[in-house]
């Protein structure tokens, strides 16, 4: 029987995604400082935070394998966060209209005192040119205030794009399941 499995996240999106793999798991809140380090690139930040989240929970649950994931949206070479408000979402979407945004998702599967298993996914989103009225209609419909980039690609947000380039369609939602399944198989879990 494999070790218990924990998801080091309180994200409802990641929890919903992980259920697709059919493995029993519990959720634990990682107490991790998510402040970027000076000069830290978005890709490095995403990977560092994924490892830190998994390690923090693994230290408290040494018998379990822990999944940590973090996503950083990169626009014009800088990380962009969750808008937090209607005004923030309107401003983010207006700035990204007709432009590309990279979403870097860091992933770590870790067990206390063992070398972590890691992966990274990069998804590029191309926004179509959006009018102010379209942005307002979208923001009022989905209120994506807790989503970096101010959209929910699994919902109406998909209508904001010209294209999405990714090797894993689940990565943009916050947990790349192709890489997660691969790392869990490496950790000894039975998956197809």
- For 100, counting Cβ atoms within 10 Å of its Cβ (0-12 exposed, 13-18 middle, 19+ buried), the class is middle
Between strands 65-75 and 100-111, the pairing is antiparallel
pLDDT band at 104 (very low <50, low <70, confident <90, very high): very high
Residue 100 pLDDT: 96
Nearest-Å Rg of the Cα atoms of the chain is 17
| pTM of structure | 0.88
135: CB partners within 8 A, 6+ apart: 90, 93, 94, 97
- For 39, counting Cβ atoms within 10 Å of its Cβ (0-12 exposed, 13-18 middle, 19+ buried), the class is exposed
Domain 5-186 has CATH 3.90.950.10: yes
pLDDT reading at 1 higher than 80: no
Residue 135 pLDDT: 97
| CA angle (59, 182, 115) in 5-degree steps | 35
Residues 43 and 48: their CA atoms lie apart, in Å, by 9
pLDDT reading at 7 higher than 90: yes
Dihedral sign for Cα atoms in the order 83, 78, 173, 191: negative
Residues 79 and 105: their CA atoms lie apart, in Å, by 12
As annotated, the active-site residues are: 70
Per-residue pLDDT of 172-189, as tens digits, reads 888 999 999 999 999 999
């Amino acid at each position: 029987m494999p070790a218990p499995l924990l998801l080091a996240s309180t994200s409802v999106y990641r929890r919903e995604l992980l259920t697709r793999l059919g493995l029993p798991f519990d959720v634990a809140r990682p107490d991790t400082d998510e402040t970027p380090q000076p000069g830290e690139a978005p890709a490095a930040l995403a990977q560092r935070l994924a490892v830190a989240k998994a390690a923090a929970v693994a230290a408290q649950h040494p018998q379990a394998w822990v999944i940590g994931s973090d996503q950083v949206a990169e626009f014009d070479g800088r990380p962009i966060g969750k808008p937090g408000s209607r005004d923030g979402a309107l401003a983010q979407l207006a700035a990204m209209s007709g432009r590309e945004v990279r979403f870097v998702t860091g992933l770590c599967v870790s067990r206390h005192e063992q070398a972590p298993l890691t992966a990274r996914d990069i998804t590029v989103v191309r926004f179509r040119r959006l009018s102010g009225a379209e942005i307002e209609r979208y923001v009022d419909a989905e209120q994506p205030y807790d989503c970096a980039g101010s959209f929910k690609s699994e919902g109406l947000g998909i209508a904001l794009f010209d294209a999405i380039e990714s090797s894993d369609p689940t990565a943009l939602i916050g947990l790349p399941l192709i890489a997660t399944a691969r790392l869990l198989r490496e950790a000894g879990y039975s998956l197809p």
